[in-house]
Chains A and B, each alone.
Chain A
Amino acid sequence: MTYRPTFEVDDALSMRLAALAQPAVPRDLTGIVMARIARIEDADAAGGSVAAATGELRERPAARGWPAAAAAAAVVGLAAGLALVVSGYGAPINIVSPLDGGLTEGLVSMPATASAAAILTVGVVLYTAGLFAPLRVRSRM
């Protein structure tokens, strides 16, 4: 024989408690709750737009900076190459593979002029800076 706990006894008290009347619910509780939920959702949506806009603003400098940096690097590279060619004007450029001994003859010597050296230095510095320039976009969180 098994016994149920006293609080499970199926007596008049249990039945009364099970049938305990519900108190009158405040008027339009559902409407108020749904209105609050709508406001919260709207606020969240607005917040999301602001966040998206902020994200765009945050992304713009990086997006705008990258092509500019690439263009600058290209210009500097061209300038450096031009300086190299100009400074070594007259010397034949041998592009034959080293295995054929091509590079041992007719190598372009380093430019001796100050201006060419300066241009080359600037080009190398800009190139190096470009390699390590921060390009990552900040987190939105």
Chain B
Amino acid sequence: VSVPDADVVRDVRRGDREAFGHLVRKYQARTFGLALMLVRQPAGAEEVTQDAFVRAFTYLRDFDDARPFYPWLASIAVRLAQNWLLKHGRTIRREGTLIEHAPEPATTTSALTALVADEESRQLWQSVAALSSGERTAVILYYRDEMAVVDIARALGVSSGTIKTLLFRARGHLRSRLEAAGIDHEEKPT
């Protein structure tokens, strides 16, 4: 039986620390996947994921339980990933430009894609991972995590318009890459 996140958060706030484990188990894969896309290094992604959950627990009193839990957790993970990149000299934090023009890490995506089992998913991961940091973050949060544009904008500290632009550009880049990889991405009539 799936317990609503708001109920779990309430239990944790009442002092049931173990209840937080439910949220960790539920969101660890999504958060790790997001962190991995951002830092593109498994060890760094694990560090970011751990820190995101610990920070979420520490600041749970600030969470508005009228809102969904994951976007709040994702916004923490994104900030921590940005800090991690900054600490490792891989990006320059400048509001509004960070996610669009951040220098890319030199790490290859092989370590990243090794964590994905099937070949087609691996190709897709590779294509997404090759996007700019802003585009891949927006793609992961919008398509895979099904977050609203406004929530993504809040998490990344940019405008909704910027997110829409990033998603538009990302689709174009992905189409080109998937075409090159021979993966079907044809539009279907709606």
Contacts and interface: CB of A to CB of B under 8 A. Distances in A.
B is bound to A: yes
Interface of A: 5-7, 9-14, 16-18, 20-26, 29-30, 32-34, 36-38, 40-41
Contacts of B117: 21, 24
B175 A13 contact: yes
Contact of B50 (A16, A32, A38): A32
B125 to A, nearest CB: 7
Interface stretch (B3-11, B26-34, B84-92, B97-105): B26-34
B184 A12 contact: yes
A45 to B, nearest CB: 11
B24 A30 contact: yes
Main secondary structure of the interface of B (DSSP, over half): helix
- On chain B, which size bracket covers the interface? 35 or more
A11 B185 CA distance: 7
A11 B186 CA distance: 7
Contacts of B49: 26, 29
Contact of A21 (B53, B116, B140, B186): B116
Interface of B: 17-18, 20-21, 24-25, 28-30, 32-33, 36, 42, 46, 49-50, 53-54, 57-58, 112, 115-118, 121, 124-125, 128, 139-140, 142-144, 146, 164, 167-168, 170-171, 174-175, 178, 183-188, 190
A133 to B, nearest CB: 40
